[in-house]
């Protein structure tokens, strides 16, 4: 068998992309809000069920710009159980991250813990819909309203996710998506910000294009975070196929669920009811004693068979050298996050992962569980 990685990107048919490339060669419009960019923005907004969406060069700069537009300063309450970019975006804005613990069932920021982390310097909450599981948006919204805080959702994992038939991207003040190659929908690299109104989107556009309003007017110290025409054209094709790809992921997911059923020491995060998922990740928690080996043991054993599962998200962001000195990074403040980070392993899942590969992976897991 070939190497099996935790994910493998979906790509559109090459011939279709070549046609789009020919059109770029003809127009010589390579970037700066070309026709593919404008079309993708419109089609994505419609597809995702949001009104105001701005494309960006990647998800990290989308987070940086969103924080700037909202003029968020001081302290922001966030989760340590995420990809590095979530907290780094705060750092790049000179904002102090305040880590708060996660819910042991969903692995998302626990709303019940947020209030205790609020200080006079708190200006916002930065939650993550980790693995595409929706946060408790109602509870987070209530806290934000009570204390006058902004909410920026890191929705990098949440492409197309709906709760009660509504896009979860419409909650909070803004949401940020990532279209990196490893995500459920990709534009090679890319991202987007979902915001509430056209004026906000206009200011976000200034910020992503050096602050340029017109030839003579630079309204803000903006950065360069535009999506180019090659990414946008690629993204338009991806959009045609993404539903089919997510359906294929769901089949892989269901096969794992049925084959892993009853394996001692292997548990899964809770599924939030009334959610349309995107099946991006397949995390399991490994309880070393009940299972027979700990998470790292399973990770190594799979590697021997060229199966490259990943320990998303370990180590916690609060353990990085940049952040571990913060008072909120103390282990005692984050017991659930540590418990999950020490046990979690994301098994391979992608549209073209074969049933045989899933059987092979679960076969190894069952062998360990039986062999103890
Ligand atoms: C991927 C990811 C990002 C960053 O997105 P890029 O497009 O790679 O810059 C941010 N937050 C989370 C949770 C992510 O997984």
In the chain, what's the furthest Cα-to-Cα distance? 72
> What is the structure's pLDDT at 372?
60
Among 55, 83, 280, which is best to mutate for testing ligand 1, by the most ligand atoms less than 8 A from CB?
83
Please state the atom number of ligand 1 nearest to the C-alpha of residue 130.
13
CB 322 within 8 A of CB 294: no
Cβ neighbours for 223, distance < 8 A, ≥ 6 positions apart: 61, 64, 65, 207, 208, 210
Give pLDDT tens digits for 199-252. Answer: 999 999 999 999 999 999 999 999 999 999 999 999 999 999 999 999 999 999
Nearest to 338 by CA among 347, 326, 329, 348: 329
Give the distance (Å) from ligand 1 centre to CA of residue 61: 9
Q: Give me ligand 1 centre to Cα 152, in Å.
A: 14
What pLDDT is attached to residue 362? 98
159-184, pLDDT tens digit by residue? 999 999 999 999 999 999 999 999 99
- Of 61, 85, 132, the one to substitute when testing ligand 1's pocket (max ligand atoms within 8 A of C-beta) is 85
Domain segments of the chain: what residues?
A: 4-101+108-237, 242-370
Distance 344 CA to ligand 1 centre (A): 19
Residues of the chain with pLDDT > 90, as a percent, come to 99
R_g of the chain, CA atoms, integer Å: 21
Nearest CA-CA partner of 219 in 232, 231, 202: 202
Average of per-residue pLDDT across 177-194? 98
**6, 55, 57, 59, best to mutate for ligand 1 pocket (most atoms within 8 Å of CB):** 59
What is the average pLDDT across 18-39?
Answer: 98
**Model-level pTM?**
0.98
Q: What are the strands, taking DSSP E only, across the chain? A: 4-5, 52-56, 75-78, 96-99, 122-126, 150-154, 162-163, 166-167, 174-178, 191-195, 212-214, 217-218, 266-267, 275-276, 282-286, 307-308, 344-347
For ligand 1, atom 5, which residue shows the shortest CA distance?
Answer: 59
pLDDT at 260: 97
What is the third-level CATH fold of 242-370? 3.90.1150
**Predicted local confidence at residue 371, as pLDDT:** 86
Residue with CA nearest ligand 1 atom 2 = 156
What whole-number percentage of the chain has pLDDT above 70? 100
- Give the count of alpha carbons within 13 A of 300, CB side only: 5
What are 100-133's pLDDT values in tens digits? 999 999 999 999 999 999 999 999 999 999 999 9
Q: Which atom of ligand 1 is nearest to the CA of 183?
A: 1
Question: How many Cβ atoms sit within 10 Å of the Cβ of residue 198?
Answer: 10
Q: Do you find a cis peptide bond into 315, omega within 30 degrees of 0?
A: yes
Which ligand 1 atom lies nearest to the CA of residue 86? 11
Q: Which residues contact 13 (CB under 8 A, 6 or more apart)?
A: 237
Average pLDDT taken over every residue of the chain: 97
Contact by Cβ (8 Å): 47, 167: no
Phi, psi of 81, rounded to the nearest 5 degrees: -95, 80
Q: Which residue has the tokens 């490994």?
A: 286
Question: How far apart are the C-alpha atoms of 130 and 153, rounded to whole Å?
Answer: 10
Which atom of ligand 1 lies nearest, measured to the CA of 89?
10
- Dihedral Cα 52, 53, 59, 65, nearest 10 deg: -50
What is the rounded CA–CA span in Å between residue 123 and residue 175? 16
What is the Å distance from ligand 1's center to 59 Cα? Answer: 5
Local structure of residue 109 (DSSP, 8 states): B
Pocket of ligand 1 (CB under 6 A): 58-60, 82-83, 85-86, 128, 154, 156-157, 178, 180, 191
Calculate ∠ Cα 271-143-174, nearest 5°. Answer: 70
Decide if pLDDT at 1 tops 80: no
User: For residue 11, what pLDDT band results from cuts at 50, 70 and 90?
Assistant: very high
Q: How far is the CA of 153 from the centre of ligand 1 (A)?
A: 12
- Give, for ligand 1, the residue of 158, 174, 178 to mutate: max count of ligand atoms closer than 8 Å to Cβ: 178
Sorted by sequence, the CB contacts under 8 Å of residue 245 that are 6+ apart come out as 10, 184, 351
What value does the mean pLDDT take over residues 141-161? Answer: 98
**Alpha-carbon torsion (293, 296, 297, 301), positive or negative:** positive
Beta carbons of 93 and 64 less than 8 angstroms apart: yes
pLDDT greater than 80 at residue 74 = yes
Give the residue among 145, 204, 203 at the shortest CA–CA distance from 172.
145
Positions of E strands within 238-299: 266-267, 275-276, 282-286
Quick one: which atom of ligand 1 is closest to the CA of 190?
7
Q: Does domain 4-101+108-237 have CATH number 3.40.640.10?
A: yes
pLDDT at 348 over 70: yes
Cα(252)–Cα(246) distance, integer angstroms: 10
Q: What is the DSSP letter of 80?
A: S
- Cα of 125 vs centre of ligand 1, distance in Å, is 17
């Amino acid at each position: 068998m070939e190497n099996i990685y935790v994910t493998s990107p979906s790509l559109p048919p090459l011939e279709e992309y070549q046609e789009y490339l020919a059109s770029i060669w003809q127009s010589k419009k390579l970037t700066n809000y070309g026709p593919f960019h404008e079309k993708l923005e419109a089609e994505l907004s419609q597809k995702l069920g949001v009104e105001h969406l701005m494309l960006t060069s990647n998800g990290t700069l989308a987070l940086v710009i969103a924080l700037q537009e909202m003029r968020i300063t001081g302290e922001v309450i966030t989760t340590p159980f995420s990809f590095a970019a979530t907290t780094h975006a705060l750092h790049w804005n000179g904002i102090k991250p305040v880590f708060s613990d996660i819910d042991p069932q969903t692995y998302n920021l626990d709303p019940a813990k947020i209030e205790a982390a609020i200080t006079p310097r708190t200006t916002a909450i930065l939650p993550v819909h980790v693995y595409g599981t929706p946060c408790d948006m109602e509870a987070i919204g209530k806290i934000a309203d009570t204390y006058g805080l902004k909410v920026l959702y890191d929705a990098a994992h949440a492409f197309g996710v709906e709760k009660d038939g509504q896009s979860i991207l419409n909650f909070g003040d803004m949401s940020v998506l990532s279209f990196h190659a490893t995500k459920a929908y990709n534009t090679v690299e890319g991202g987007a910000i979902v915001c509430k109104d056209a004026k906000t989107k206009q200011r976000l556009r200034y910020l992503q294009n050096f602050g340029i309003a017109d030839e003579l007017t630079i309204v803000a110290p903006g950065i360069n975070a535009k999506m180019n025409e090659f990414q946008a054209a690629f993204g338009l094709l991806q959009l045609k196929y993404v539903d089919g790809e997510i359906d294929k992921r769901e089949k892989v997911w269901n096969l794992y669920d049925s084959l892993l059923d009853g394996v001692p020491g292997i548990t899964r995060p809770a599924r939030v009811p009334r959610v349309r998922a995107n099946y991006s990740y397949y995390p399991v928690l490994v309880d070393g004693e009940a299972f027979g080996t700990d998470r790292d043991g399973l990770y190594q054993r799979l590697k021997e068979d060229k199966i490259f599962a990943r320990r998303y998200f370990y180590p916690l962001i609060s353990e990085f050298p940049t952040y571990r000195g913060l008072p909120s990074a103390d282990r005692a403040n984050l017991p659930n996050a540590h418990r999950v980070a020490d046990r979690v392993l994301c098994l391979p899942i992608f549209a073209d992962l074969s049933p045989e590969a899933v059987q092979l992976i679960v076969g190894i897991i069952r062998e360990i569980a039986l062999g103890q």
